């Protein structure tokens, strides 16, 4: 059984840049490329399969028509009735992104007709002094509204300095923004619902401020901010590799696998992909290059390990971010 590589979808953004090309050699469409949707079945930017018998097939169709790639045999009908649950992106923030908040499943399904958007960020690179907005200081919704409506953003928003290798869980309801000079790998629920709270009073090309969604932001924001800072758990080195659990919550697990020379998986797994116990894996290479199960993989490549593949054999020095649904 093959690994399923994907053709990424790019999004040009006012805040985007060229790092996706300079760092990952991705074929970006312009010098303002903000987002690479690396593994996506979302209608706003669906990736297609690049190789093998499913080449050219969109991921949503593959999920619907071939649930055996994503589920164990006893779960097949249920799998094809759901939406593909996750979305993996790489974001190049050449300028500050707007301050935003995302709804949970219940609110998003009622109001927007789609999933909520829990997300998490692995910081791939950050310029010195780079910062994110992560949380706020208000203790009540009244206080939150009052500070927001009177423009006291410095008082309301909490900023955190970041560096390469940092990781942040961003549950629904979290006030957040990626700052300028940060490259991020984001794993999120497959949703495109964003409520913009503040855009630094910037104007677009026609001199208009960008639309804000204050009422919806007030409806979904977590108060007080829940500081969900995670301490990644690193397992003992196995087979010349280090496996780090970055986050495990109701929506997804995200792990980092650092392979130093080679990595031969063993057979002693309980019918799940070794070394990660998952029905299928979404993988993005973020450093190095290697041969994985016979395929040449370079940093910037993304692929799916389908259910039928139970082992990974890796030759080379490479770092992978591996995600699976919970
Ligand atoms: Zn977000």
Overall pTM surpassing 0.75 (yes/no): yes
- Give the residue with greater pLDDT, 259 vs 267: 259
The CA 281 to ligand 1 mean position distance, Å, reads 22
Residue of 196, 202, 210, 226 marked active site: 196
Residues in the chain: 326
Query: How far is residue 148 from each of residues 102, 107, 142, 161, 210, measured CA to CA in Å?
Result: 17, 22, 10, 22, 16
The CA 204 to ligand 1 mean position distance, Å, reads 20
**Catalytic residue flag (residue 210):** no
Mean pLDDT of 232-249: 82
The CA 135 to ligand 1 mean position distance, Å, reads 12
What is the pLDDT at residue 272? 42
Q: Parallel, antiparallel, or unpaired for β 48-49 and 4-7?
A: antiparallel
Domain ranges of the chain: 4-220, 233-325
pLDDT at 274 over 80: no
pLDDT at 273 over 70: no
pLDDT at 247 over 90: yes
* Banded model confidence at residue 158, pLDDT cuts 50, 70, 90: very high
pLDDT-wise least confident of 28-42, 44-58, 131-145, 263-277: 263-277
Share of the chain above pLDDT 70, in %: 95
Mean pLDDT of 18-40: 97
pLDDT at 269 over 50: no
pLDDT at 27 over 60: yes
Mean pLDDT of 182-190: 98
The CA 160 to ligand 1 mean position distance, Å, reads 16
Share of the chain above pLDDT 90, in %: 77
Return the number of other C-beta atoms located less than 10 Å from residue 24's C-beta.
22
The CA 42 to ligand 1 mean position distance, Å, reads 16
* Rounded CA separation 275/290 (Å): 17
The CA 241 to ligand 1 mean position distance, Å, reads 31
Burial track 165-201 (b if 16+ CB lie within 10 A, e otherwise)? ebbbbbbbbbbbbbbbbbbbbbbbbbbbbbbbbbbee
The CA 96 to ligand 1 mean position distance, Å, reads 13
CATH architecture designation of domain 233-325: Sandwich (2.60)
* Banded model confidence at residue 97, pLDDT cuts 50, 70, 90: very high
Superfamily classification of domain 4-220: Jelly Rolls (2.60.120.10)
What is the pLDDT at residue 266? 55
The CA 198 to ligand 1 mean position distance, Å, reads 13
What is the pLDDT at residue 278? 85
Report the 3 state secondary structure along the chain.
CCCEEEECEEEEEEEEECHHHHHHCCCCCCCCEEEEEEECCCCCCCCEECCHHHCCCEHHHHHHHCHHHCCCHHHHHHHHHCCCCEEEEEEEECCCCCEEECCCHHHHHHHCCCCCCCEEEEEEEECCCCEEEEEECCCCHHHHHHHHHCCCHHHHEEEEECCCCCEEEECCCCCEECCCCEEEEEEEECCCCCEEEECCCCECCCCCECCCCHHHHHHHCCCCCCCCCCCCEECCCECCEEEEEEEECCCEEEEEEEECCEEECCCCCCCCCCCCCCCCEEEEEEEEEEEECCEEEECCCEEEECCCCCCCEEEEEEEEEEEEEC
Burial track 252-261 (b if 16+ CB lie within 10 A, e otherwise)? bbbbbbbbee
- Give the residue with greater pLDDT, 208 vs 215: 215
The CA 316 to ligand 1 mean position distance, Å, reads 34
Most confident of 53-57, 228-232, 262-266: 53-57
The β-bridge partners of 160 are: 132
Domains 4-220 and 233-325 share a fold: yes
The CA 200 to ligand 1 mean position distance, Å, reads 16
* Banded model confidence at residue 193, pLDDT cuts 50, 70, 90: very high
- Give the residue with greater pLDDT, 78 vs 46: 46
């Amino acid at each position: 059984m093959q690994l399923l590589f994907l053709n990424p979808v790019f999004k040009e953004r006012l805040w985007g840049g060229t790092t996706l090309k300079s760092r990952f050699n991705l074929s970006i469409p312009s010098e303002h490329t903000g987002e690479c949707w690396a593994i996506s079945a979302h209608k706003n930017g669906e990736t297609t399969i690049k190789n093998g018998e499913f080449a050219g097939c969109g991921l949503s169709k593959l999920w619907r028509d071939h649930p055996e790639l994503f589920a164990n045999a006893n779960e097949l009908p249920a799998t094809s009735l759901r939406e593909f649950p996750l979305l993996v992106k790489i974001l190049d923030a050449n300028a500050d992104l707007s301050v935003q908040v995302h709804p949970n499943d219940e609110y998003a399904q009622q109001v927007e007709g789609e999933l909520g958007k829990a997300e998490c960020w692995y910081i791939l690179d950050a310029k010195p002094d780079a910062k994110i907005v992560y949380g706020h200081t208000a203790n009540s919704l009244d206080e939150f509204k009052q500070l927001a409506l009177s423009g006291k953003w410095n008082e309301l928003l909490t900023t955190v300095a970041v560096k390469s290798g940092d990781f942040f869980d961003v549950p629904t309801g979290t006030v957040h923004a990626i700052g300028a000079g940060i490259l991020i790998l984001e794993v999120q629920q497959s949703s495109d619902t964003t409520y913009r709270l503040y855009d630094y009073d910037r104007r677009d090309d026609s001199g208009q401020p960008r639309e804000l969604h204050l009422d919806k932001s007030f409806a979904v924001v977590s108060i007080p901010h829940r500081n969900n800072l995670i301490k990644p758990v690193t397992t003992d080195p196995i087979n010349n590799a280090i496996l780090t659990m970055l986050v495990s919550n109701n929506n997804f697990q995200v792990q980092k696998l650092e392979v130093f020379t080679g990595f031969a998986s063993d057979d002693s797994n309980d019918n799940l992909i070794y070394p990660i116990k998952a029905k299928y894996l979404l993988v993005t290479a973020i450093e190095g290059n290697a041969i994985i199960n016979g395929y040449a993989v370079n940093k910037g490549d993304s692929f799916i390990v389908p259910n039928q593949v139970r082992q990974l054999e890796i030759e080379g020095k490479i770092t992978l971010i591996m995600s699976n649904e919970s």
